[in-house]
A and B are shown apart, each in its own frame.
Chain A
């Protein structure tokens, strides 16, 4: 059972914007960097955002990340059919020693 909560699903029409929330606590999101992943069926997960809001080389600026307190958000603008996938947040949790990495519950994005 994940300690990071995401909405099960979000949807929007092509060209529109969606946001996905990731709610945690002071021991994880509140004090550590958040990353976001796109997982297409049959493929390895892909890193979209790291260190809360940085994009790896090759990731379009349609994808953005932000964080406030114990919640983080992934935004996708100009939604495309190829964006239909599962999206996960992830971060380090320091509530135990040594700490451990945790993923969110996952959000399915549907392009209407």
Chain B
């Protein structure tokens, strides 16, 4: 069974950088899937942030592209998210997920990590 677990600070100050890591178990991160990040601000819908392939190839949401970096660590079977210059609007539950080959549909999800942006 594939399992994903987010980790990182739950509180980030405005203008600073949000950093989260997703540890993957039950599957190799080099197994041909894409590995993505999705968020949900309180009371709002799901928003795809971006994903990374085992080669390091990335795709990002056009609205976040200028502030996002997603990287992959195949040696430790994990991938990471960095979001710079955060504001209160970046307060959200952040989920990591495995995305299927072809359709890119997220099929396995982490439980989510609440990140609050506040001074």
Residue of A nearest to B100 (CB): A50
B107 touching A45, Cβ below 8 Å: no
Give B7 Cβ to nearest chain A Cβ, in Å.
Answer: 15
A77 to B48 Cα, complex, angstroms: 29
A88 touching B103, Cβ below 8 Å: no
Give A43 Cβ to nearest chain B Cβ, in Å.
Answer: 8
Instruction: Give the residue of B62, B109, B112 whose beta carbon is less than 8 angstroms from that of A100.
Output: B62
In the complex, which of the residues B36, B60, B105, B110 has the most CB atoms of chain A within 10 Å of its own CB atom?
A: B105
Contacting A at CB under 8 A, from B69-92, are: none
Question: Count of chain A residues with Cβ under 8 Å from any Cβ of B?
Answer: 29
Interface of A is mostly: strand
A47 to B103 Cα, complex, angstroms: 13
Question: Count of chain B residues with Cβ under 8 Å from any Cβ of A?
Answer: 25
Instruction: Give the residue of A51, A101, A105 whose beta carbon is less than 8 angstroms from that of B36.
Output: A101
**Chain B neighbourhood of A91, CB < 8 A:** 103
Residue of B nearest to A86 (CB): B45
A39 touching B46, Cβ below 8 Å: yes
B109 touching A45, Cβ below 8 Å: yes
Contacting A at CB under 8 A, from B18-63, are: 36, 38, 45-48, 50-51, 59-62
Give B98 Cβ to nearest chain A Cβ, in Å.
Answer: 10
Contact residues of B with A, CB < 8 Å? 36, 38, 45-48, 50-51, 59-62, 95, 99-100, 102-107, 109-112
